[in-house]
C-alpha cells in the first residue's frame, strides 16, 4: 500500500475533471482499509469509488482512499435463487455481465451503468423499471471512527428514489466494502414495462426475450441516448427527476399539455427533469468545453478540459431557469465536491 503525492484525479472520475489530490492511496484489502483508517481517521480523507457520480469543483486537500476491493462469489444457493457477494471495487457493468454469463436474473435492466458495486447502494442506482433495492439483500461497511464492520439489511439502508441512509444520516460515516444480491436462477421475472425496452426488442425481432436480450436492449438504448464517459466526460443524470404535488402538476399541465409524467401516489407526480431542461432551451447547448448533451438534456458533459466549477455554474443556471419558467425546484443527483 503506497501513498502517492499530488496525483491527478482525471482518470478517476467519469466527468474527466483534472482536479488534484494532495495524496492518493489504492486500497485492495479490507485489512488495508482498516489500518489506514485507524491512522488517518482524525485527518482529512476522501473516499473514491468508481468516480461516476461526482463533480470535482476543486482540488482534494486530503488523502484520497481509492476503494479497489475485488472479488465475486456465491454465498447461498437454492434450486431457484442465488445470493452473490460482490466486493465494493468491482466495476458495476462487469458484475452485471458476470451474472448474465451464469444466467442469474434480476440485474439485466441495470446494464451499462457506470461506477462500482460499492457505490451503487449509496444512491440506489436505477434504470428502466428496476432499482438496486429490488435485488439487494445486505451490505457490509466499515465504520470510519472505530473500524468495526457492520452488516446493513435492506431496511437499514432506507432506500428511496436515488437515496439511502448513506447519502443522509450516515453520510461519510461508513465505507461499503461488499454487497450481497439475490438473483433468480430460473423463472426470471422480466421487467419490460418501460416503453423503450419493448420498442428495442421488437426492432431487433426478439419475441421471447431472455435476460441477455433485455440486457442487450438496455445497452442499445443507453448507447443511443447517453454519452460514453470514455469519449465524453459525464456523470449520467446530473439532476434527479423532481416529484411535485398534484396541484402543481395540474398547473404545469395546463400550460404544457404534452408534459410527460409518472404518477408516484395520489398526490405526487414525477416529472422528467430532462424534459424541463429541453423545454427551457438548454438541450445540446455548448459553452467552450462543456455543455448539455444533445440526446439527453439531463446529462451535463465535459468535452475535454472543462473545469468542474464551470459545469457547476451551468447547473446553477439551469436550476434557476427551471424555477423561473416552471416554478419547480430540481436537485442535483451528482455529488458536488
Ligand atoms: N425527455 C425529454 N428530453 C430529454 C430527455 C428526456 O423530453 O432531453 C423526456 C423523454 O422524452 C421521456 C422522459 O423525459 O418522455 C423520460 O426520459 P428517459 O426515459 O430518458 O428517462 P429520464 O427520466 O430522463 C431516468 C433516470 C436515468 C435512467 C432512465 C431510464 C433519473 C434522474 N434518471 O432518466 O438514469 O437511465 O430514467 O430508466 O432518474 C442516471 O441516473 O444516471 C440515469 C441515466
Per-residue pLDDT tens over the stretch 225-284: 999 999 999 999 999 999 999 999 999 999 999 999 999 999 999 999 999 999 999 999
**DSSP bridge partners of 49:** none
pLDDT digits (tens, 9 = 90+) for 151-187: 999 999 999 999 999 999 999 999 999 999 999 999 9
CATH code for the domain defined by 72-225: 3.30.465.10
Ligand 1 atom nearest 333 alpha carbon = 32
Angle at 289 (CA atoms; ends 286, 291), nearest 5 degrees: 35
Q: What is the CATH number of domain 233-336?
A: 3.90.78.10
Residue 282 near residue 318 (C-beta atoms within 8 A)? yes
Q: Residue holding cell 428514489? A: 161
- pLDDT value, residue 236: 94
Q: Which residue has the cell 442487450?
A: 216
Residue 150 is a catalytic residue: no
What does the radius of gyration of the chain's CA atoms come to, in whole angstroms? 20
- What is the 298 CA–ligand 1 centroid distance (Å)? 7
Which of helix, strand or coil describes residue 239? strand
Is residue 24 in contact with ligand 1, taking CB distance under 6 Å?
no
Record the cell numbers describing residue 141, joined without a space.
461497511
CA–centroid distance, residue 160 to ligand 1 (Å): 17
CB distance 293 to ligand 1 below 6 Å: no
| Pocket lining: 272 vs ligand 1, CB cutoff 6 Å | yes
Catalytic site includes residue 237:
yes
Hey, how many other C-beta atoms are within 10 angstroms of the C-beta on 88? Answer: 29
HSE toward the beta carbon, residue 93, CA cutoff 13 A: 12
Distance CA 297, CA 304 (A): 19
Q: Are 148 and 66 in contact (CB under 8 A)?
A: no
Please, which residues bridge with residue 175 across strands?
A: 142
* Cα 180 to Cα 88: distance, rounded to the nearest angstrom: 10
- Residue 260: predicted pLDDT: 95
What residue segments make up the domains of the chain, in order of their start? 3-67, 72-225, 233-336
| Nearest Cα residue to 229 out of 7, 15, 6, 4 | 15
What stretches of 267-324 adopt beta strand conformation (E)? 268-270, 286-287, 290-292, 300-302
Top-level CATH class of 3-67? alpha beta
Pairing of strands 149-153, 136-143: antiparallel
| Domain 72-225 and domain 233-336 have a common topology | no
Which single residue is written with the C-alpha cell 444512491?
123
- Ligand 1: which residue has its CA nearest to atom 7? 275
Which pLDDT score is estimated for 259?
95
pLDDT of 194 higher than 90: no
**Cβ distance 289 to 305 under 8 Å?**
yes
The pLDDT value given to residue 95: 98
Which helix (DSSP H) or strand (DSSP E) does residue 230 occupy?
none
At 284-296, the pLDDT tens digits run 999 999 999 999 9
Q: What is the pLDDT of residues 20-67, one digit of tens each?
A: 999 999 999 999 999 999 988 778 899 999 999 999 999 999 999 999
CA of 150 to the centre of ligand 1 (A): 34
Q: What is the percent of the chain where pLDDT is above 90?
A: 96
Q: Is 333 a catalytic residue?
A: yes
Cβ–ligand 1 contact at 89 (below 6 Å):
no
Name the percent of the chain lying above pLDDT 70: 100
Asked whether 227 lines ligand 1 (CB < 6 A), one says no
Amino acid at each position: 500500500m503506497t501513498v502517492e503525492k499530488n496525483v491527478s484525479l482525471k482518470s478517476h472520475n467519469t466527468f474527466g475533471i483534472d482536479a488534484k489530490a494532495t495524496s492518493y492511496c489504492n486500497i485492495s484489502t479490507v485489512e488495508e482499509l482498516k489500518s489506514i483508517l485507524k491512522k488517518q481517521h482524525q485527518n482529512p480523507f476522501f473516499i473514491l469509488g468508481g468516480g461516476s457520480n461526482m463533480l470535482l469543483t476543486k482540488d482534494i486537500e486530503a488523502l484520497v482512499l481509492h476503494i479497489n476491493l475485488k472479488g465475486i462469489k456465491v454465498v447461498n444457493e437454492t434450486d431457484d435463487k442465488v445470493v452473490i457477494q460482490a466486493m465494493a471495487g468491482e466495476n458495476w457493468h462487469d458484475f452485471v455481465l458476470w451474472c448474465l454469463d451464469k444466467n442469474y436474473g434480476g440485474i439485466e435492466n441495470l446494464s451499462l451503468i457506470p461506477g462500482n458495486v460499492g457505490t451503487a447502494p449509496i444512491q440506489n442506482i436505477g434504470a428502466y423499471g428496476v432499482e438496486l433495492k429490488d435485488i439487494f439483500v445486505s451490505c457490509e461497511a466499515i465504520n470510519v471512527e472505530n473500524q468495526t464492520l457492520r452488516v446493513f439489511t435492506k431496511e437499514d439502508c432506507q432506500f428511496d428514489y436515488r437515496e439511502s441512509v448513506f447519502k443522509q444520516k450516515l453520510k461519510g460515516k461508513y465505507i461499503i466494502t461488499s454487497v450481497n444480491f439475490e438473483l433468480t436462477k430460473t423463472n426470471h421475472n422480466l421487467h419490460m414495462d418501460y416503453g423503450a425496452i419493448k420498442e428495442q426488442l421488437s426492432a431487433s425481432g426478439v419475441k421471447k426475450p431472455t435476460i441477455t436480450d433485455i440486457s442487450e436492449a438496455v445497452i442499445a438504448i443507453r448507447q443511443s441516448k447517453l454519452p460514453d464517459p470514455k469519449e465524453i466526460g459525464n456523470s449520467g443524470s446530473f439532476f434527479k427527476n423532481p416529484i411535485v404535488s398534484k396541484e402543481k402538476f395540474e398547473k404545469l399541465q395546463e400550460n404544457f399539455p404534452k408534459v410527460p409524467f409518472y404518477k408516484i401516489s395520489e398526490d405526487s407526480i414525477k416529472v422528467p427533469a430532462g424534459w424541463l431542461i429541453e423545454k427551457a432551451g438548454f438541450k445540446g447547448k455548448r459553452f467552450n468545453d462543456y455543455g448539455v448533451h444533445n440526446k439527453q438534456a439531463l446529462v451535463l458533459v465535459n468535452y475535454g478540459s472543462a473545469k468542474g466549477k464551470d459545469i457547476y455554474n451551468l447547473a446553477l443556471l439551469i436550476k434557476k431557469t427551471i424555477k423561473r419558467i416552471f416554478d419547480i425546484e430540481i436537485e442535483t443527483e451528482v455529488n458536488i465536491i
